[in-house]
Homo-oligomer: A and B are copies of this chain.
Amino acid sequence: MESTISDDSRTLADRVFTRLQDDIVRGALLPGTKLGEAELASRYGVSRGPLREAIRRLESRKLLERIPHVGTRVASLSLGDLIEIYHIREALEGMAARLAATHMTDAEIHSLVELLGQHEQQQDLREDVAYFQREGDLDFHYRIIQGSHNGTLIDMLIGGIYHMVRMYRYQFSTVANRPQRALQEHRRIAEALESRDAEMAEILMRRHISRARQNIEAQHGLGAADSFSSETKQGPGPVEQSK
Protein backbone atom coordinates (compact mmCIF):
# COMPACT_ATOMS: atom_id res chain seq x y z
CA MET A 1 0.00 0.00 0.00
CA GLU A 2 2.39 2.55 -1.15
CA SER A 3 1.14 5.95 -1.95
CA THR A 4 2.95 7.77 -4.67
CA ILE A 5 5.19 4.85 -5.28
CA SER A 6 7.18 5.93 -8.14
CA ASP A 7 9.47 8.66 -8.22
CA ASP A 8 9.84 6.79 -11.42
CA SER A 9 13.23 8.20 -11.50
CA ARG A 10 14.27 7.78 -15.01
CA THR A 11 17.52 6.08 -14.33
CA LEU A 12 17.98 2.61 -12.97
CA ALA A 13 20.56 3.80 -10.48
CA ASP A 14 18.08 6.17 -8.88
CA ARG A 15 15.41 3.52 -8.71
CA VAL A 16 17.61 0.91 -7.14
CA PHE A 17 18.80 3.58 -4.74
CA THR A 18 15.24 4.22 -3.63
CA ARG A 19 14.35 0.56 -3.39
CA LEU A 20 17.47 -0.32 -1.48
CA GLN A 21 16.93 2.55 0.90
CA ASP A 22 13.37 1.44 1.49
CA ASP A 23 14.45 -2.11 2.16
CA ILE A 24 16.99 -0.91 4.67
CA VAL A 25 14.71 1.54 6.39
CA ARG A 26 11.80 -0.86 6.55
CA GLY A 27 13.92 -3.53 8.10
CA ALA A 28 13.77 -5.98 5.23
CA LEU A 29 17.54 -5.98 5.39
CA LEU A 30 18.70 -6.41 8.95
CA PRO A 31 21.55 -4.25 10.21
CA GLY A 32 24.88 -5.95 9.87
CA THR A 33 23.82 -7.96 6.87
CA LYS A 34 26.58 -8.30 4.38
CA LEU A 35 25.48 -7.17 0.96
CA GLY A 36 27.15 -8.92 -1.93
CA GLU A 37 27.08 -6.87 -5.08
CA ALA A 38 26.36 -9.77 -7.38
CA GLU A 39 23.49 -10.94 -5.21
CA LEU A 40 21.95 -7.49 -4.96
CA ALA A 41 22.38 -6.91 -8.66
CA SER A 42 20.47 -10.05 -9.54
CA ARG A 43 17.88 -9.33 -6.85
CA TYR A 44 17.04 -5.94 -8.25
CA GLY A 45 17.57 -6.98 -11.81
CA VAL A 46 20.28 -4.49 -12.62
CA SER A 47 23.93 -4.59 -13.38
CA ARG A 48 26.60 -3.83 -10.86
CA GLY A 49 27.29 -0.40 -12.26
CA PRO A 50 24.13 1.39 -11.20
CA LEU A 51 24.07 -0.68 -8.05
CA ARG A 52 27.46 0.60 -6.99
CA GLU A 53 26.36 4.18 -7.56
CA ALA A 54 23.37 3.57 -5.34
CA ILE A 55 25.60 2.01 -2.72
CA ARG A 56 27.87 5.02 -2.70
CA ARG A 57 24.91 7.29 -2.11
CA LEU A 58 23.54 5.18 0.70
CA GLU A 59 27.00 5.15 2.16
CA SER A 60 26.98 8.93 2.18
CA ARG A 61 23.72 8.84 4.06
CA LYS A 62 25.24 6.58 6.68
CA LEU A 63 22.79 3.82 5.89
CA LEU A 64 25.53 1.53 4.61
CA GLU A 65 28.99 0.85 5.89
CA ARG A 66 31.58 0.01 3.32
CA ILE A 67 35.11 -1.25 3.69
CA PRO A 68 37.24 -1.09 0.56
CA HIS A 69 37.98 -4.45 -0.97
CA VAL A 70 35.97 -6.15 1.70
CA GLY A 71 32.33 -5.41 1.26
CA THR A 72 29.26 -3.45 2.21
CA ARG A 73 27.02 -4.04 5.18
CA VAL A 74 23.83 -2.48 6.41
CA ALA A 75 24.76 0.09 9.00
CA SER A 76 24.39 -1.40 12.43
CA LEU A 77 24.18 1.49 14.75
CA SER A 78 24.25 1.69 18.46
CA LEU A 79 21.69 3.10 20.82
CA GLY A 80 24.16 5.85 21.59
CA ASP A 81 23.99 6.99 17.99
CA LEU A 82 20.24 7.16 18.23
CA ILE A 83 20.51 9.35 21.30
CA GLU A 84 22.95 11.59 19.45
CA ILE A 85 20.52 11.88 16.62
CA TYR A 86 17.73 12.87 18.94
CA HIS A 87 19.88 15.58 20.45
CA ILE A 88 20.51 16.92 16.98
CA ARG A 89 16.86 16.67 16.15
CA GLU A 90 16.12 18.70 19.24
CA ALA A 91 18.28 21.53 18.00
CA LEU A 92 17.30 21.33 14.36
CA GLU A 93 13.60 20.67 14.66
CA GLY A 94 13.32 23.25 17.38
CA MET A 95 14.71 25.67 14.88
CA ALA A 96 12.33 24.33 12.24
CA ALA A 97 9.36 24.91 14.52
CA ARG A 98 10.48 28.44 15.21
CA LEU A 99 10.83 29.17 11.52
CA ALA A 100 7.56 27.41 10.77
CA ALA A 101 5.69 29.68 13.15
CA THR A 102 6.71 32.59 10.97
CA HIS A 103 6.87 31.16 7.49
CA MET A 104 4.08 28.63 7.33
CA THR A 105 1.06 29.67 5.35
CA ASP A 106 -2.37 29.66 6.87
CA ALA A 107 -3.34 26.84 4.56
CA GLU A 108 -0.42 24.74 5.70
CA ILE A 109 -1.28 25.28 9.34
CA HIS A 110 -4.91 24.46 8.70
CA SER A 111 -3.92 21.27 6.95
CA LEU A 112 -1.69 20.38 9.86
CA VAL A 113 -4.53 20.81 12.32
CA GLU A 114 -6.69 18.62 10.14
CA LEU A 115 -4.02 15.96 10.19
CA LEU A 116 -4.04 16.03 13.96
CA GLY A 117 -7.78 15.57 13.88
CA GLN A 118 -7.34 12.43 11.82
CA HIS A 119 -4.80 11.15 14.28
CA GLU A 120 -7.23 11.68 17.13
CA GLN A 121 -9.92 9.72 15.33
CA GLN A 122 -7.57 6.87 14.66
CA GLN A 123 -6.57 7.00 18.26
CA ASP A 124 -10.18 6.75 19.33
CA LEU A 125 -10.93 3.89 16.99
CA ARG A 126 -8.28 1.45 18.02
CA GLU A 127 -5.87 0.96 20.80
CA ASP A 128 -3.40 -0.72 18.56
CA VAL A 129 -2.52 2.44 16.79
CA ALA A 130 1.17 1.86 16.92
CA TYR A 131 1.79 1.73 13.24
CA PHE A 132 -0.47 4.57 12.30
CA GLN A 133 0.69 6.74 15.09
CA ARG A 134 4.22 5.96 14.21
CA GLU A 135 3.79 7.00 10.63
CA GLY A 136 1.56 9.83 11.67
CA ASP A 137 4.21 11.15 13.99
CA LEU A 138 6.66 11.22 11.14
CA ASP A 139 4.09 12.96 9.00
CA PHE A 140 3.51 15.63 11.60
CA HIS A 141 7.18 16.36 11.94
CA TYR A 142 7.61 16.25 8.19
CA ARG A 143 5.08 19.00 7.73
CA ILE A 144 6.61 21.29 10.28
CA ILE A 145 10.02 20.79 8.77
CA GLN A 146 8.63 21.59 5.36
CA GLY A 147 6.87 24.54 6.93
CA SER A 148 10.18 26.09 7.89
CA HIS A 149 10.62 26.96 4.21
CA ASN A 150 14.33 26.59 4.69
CA GLY A 151 15.52 24.41 1.88
CA THR A 152 18.84 23.48 3.39
CA LEU A 153 17.25 22.56 6.68
CA ILE A 154 14.63 20.47 4.92
CA ASP A 155 17.25 18.60 2.95
CA MET A 156 19.31 17.98 6.01
CA LEU A 157 16.45 16.74 8.13
CA ILE A 158 14.37 14.79 5.66
CA GLY A 159 17.13 13.72 3.33
CA GLY A 160 19.74 13.05 5.93
CA ILE A 161 18.36 12.27 9.35
CA TYR A 162 14.86 10.94 9.08
CA HIS A 163 15.86 7.86 7.18
CA MET A 164 18.03 6.92 10.08
CA VAL A 165 15.27 7.66 12.56
CA ARG A 166 12.89 5.44 10.67
CA MET A 167 15.44 2.67 10.46
CA TYR A 168 15.99 2.81 14.18
CA ARG A 169 12.31 2.75 14.87
CA TYR A 170 11.83 -0.41 12.90
CA GLN A 171 14.97 -1.93 14.31
CA PHE A 172 14.30 -1.32 17.96
CA SER A 173 10.56 -1.53 17.57
CA THR A 174 10.56 1.78 19.29
CA VAL A 175 6.87 2.10 19.00
CA ALA A 176 5.54 5.18 20.62
CA ASN A 177 4.25 3.70 23.82
CA ARG A 178 2.66 6.96 24.78
CA PRO A 179 0.81 8.04 21.71
CA GLN A 180 -1.74 9.82 23.84
CA ARG A 181 0.82 12.08 25.33
CA ALA A 182 2.68 12.58 22.09
CA LEU A 183 -0.52 13.59 20.42
CA GLN A 184 -1.21 16.13 23.13
CA GLU A 185 2.22 17.60 22.62
CA HIS A 186 1.62 17.74 18.90
CA ARG A 187 -1.57 19.56 19.56
CA ARG A 188 0.19 22.13 21.69
CA ILE A 189 2.81 22.70 19.06
CA ALA A 190 0.13 23.21 16.45
CA GLU A 191 -1.57 25.73 18.71
CA ALA A 192 1.65 27.66 19.05
CA LEU A 193 1.96 27.70 15.29
CA GLU A 194 -1.59 28.89 14.94
CA SER A 195 -0.90 31.83 17.21
CA ARG A 196 2.38 32.46 15.37
CA ASP A 197 4.32 32.17 18.59
CA ALA A 198 7.76 31.27 17.33
CA GLU A 199 9.49 31.06 20.67
CA MET A 200 6.78 28.89 22.14
CA ALA A 201 6.80 26.62 19.14
CA GLU A 202 10.52 26.07 19.47
CA ILE A 203 10.34 25.38 23.17
CA LEU A 204 7.48 22.93 22.81
CA MET A 205 9.15 21.12 19.96
CA ARG A 206 12.41 20.81 21.85
CA ARG A 207 10.54 19.48 24.85
CA HIS A 208 8.61 17.05 22.71
CA ILE A 209 11.72 15.55 21.16
CA SER A 210 13.58 15.62 24.44
CA ARG A 211 10.82 13.59 26.05
CA ALA A 212 10.85 11.13 23.20
CA ARG A 213 14.55 10.70 23.75
CA GLN A 214 14.15 10.20 27.47
CA ASN A 215 11.47 7.69 26.74
CA ILE A 216 13.83 5.73 24.54
CA GLU A 217 16.59 5.92 27.10
CA ALA A 218 14.33 4.60 29.82
CA GLN A 219 12.83 1.94 27.62
CA HIS A 220 16.15 0.47 26.58
CA GLY A 221 17.75 0.39 29.95
CA LEU A 222 20.17 3.09 30.74
CA GLY A 223 22.57 4.99 28.67
CA ALA A 224 25.35 2.47 28.45
CA ALA A 225 25.89 3.82 25.03
CA ASP A 226 29.44 3.01 24.14
CA SER A 227 29.85 -0.72 24.51
CA PHE A 228 26.69 -1.74 22.81
CA SER A 229 27.75 -2.99 19.44
CA SER A 230 26.44 -6.48 19.03
CA GLU A 231 28.61 -7.89 16.32
CA THR A 232 26.66 -11.06 15.90
CA LYS A 233 26.92 -11.97 12.30
CA GLN A 234 23.52 -12.15 10.77
CA GLY A 235 22.98 -14.80 8.20
CA PRO A 236 22.78 -13.31 4.76
CA GLY A 237 20.31 -15.89 3.58
CA PRO A 238 16.87 -15.13 4.92
CA VAL A 239 16.42 -11.69 3.55
CA GLU A 240 12.86 -11.23 2.53
CA GLN A 241 12.01 -8.97 -0.27
CA SER A 242 8.75 -7.33 0.54
CA LYS A 243 7.38 -5.81 -2.57
Which residues on A are within 8 Å of B, measured CB to CB?
Answer: 9-11, 13-14, 49, 52-54, 56-57, 59-62, 68-69, 81, 84-85, 87-88, 91-92, 94-95, 102-103, 149-153, 155-156, 160, 226, 229
A10 pairs with B68, CB closer than 8 A = yes
Closest residue of chain B to A49 (Cβ to Cβ) is: B49
Contacts of A10 in B (CB 8 A): 68-69
B92 pairs with A229, CB closer than 8 A = no
Main secondary structure of the interface of A (DSSP, over half): helix
Task: Tell me the bound Cα distance from A10 to B53 in angstroms.
Answer: 18
So how many copies of this chain end up in the complex? Answer: 2
Supply 5 further A-B pairs (C-beta < 8 A) apart from A81-B152, A156-B156. A49-B52, A54-B56, A81-B151, A88-B150, A156-B160
Closest residue of chain B to A55 (Cβ to Cβ) is: B53
Query: Measured between C-beta atoms, what is the minimum distance from A229 to chain B in Å?
Result: 5
Task: Tell me the bound Cα distance from A61 to B94 in angstroms.
Answer: 23
Known: A60-B60, A60-B61, A150-B229. A95 touches B88 (CB 8 A): yes
Contacts of A156 in B (CB 8 A): 88, 156, 160
User: Which of B9, B91, B150 is in CB contact (< 8 Å) with A92?
Assistant: B91
B229 pairs with A87, CB closer than 8 A = no
User: Which of B81, B94, B95 is in CB contact (< 8 Å) with A87?
Assistant: B95
Closest residue of chain B to A77 (Cβ to Cβ) is: B152
Query: Measured between C-beta atoms, what is the minimum distance from A220 to chain B in Å?
Result: 17
Task: Tell me the bound Cα distance from A103 to B62 in angstroms.
Answer: 24
Known: A56-B56, A56-B57, A60-B57. A153 touches B92 (CB 8 A): no
Closest residue of chain B to A10 (Cβ to Cβ) is: B68
B68 pairs with A14, CB closer than 8 A = yes
Known: A60-B61, A62-B155. A84 touches B150 (CB 8 A): yes
A229 pairs with B68, CB closer than 8 A = no
A153 pairs with B88, CB closer than 8 A = yes
A95 pairs with B84, CB closer than 8 A = no
A88 pairs with B152, CB closer than 8 A = yes
Task: Tell me the bound Cα distance from A84 to B153 in angstroms.
Answer: 8
Contacts of A94 in B (CB 8 A): 91
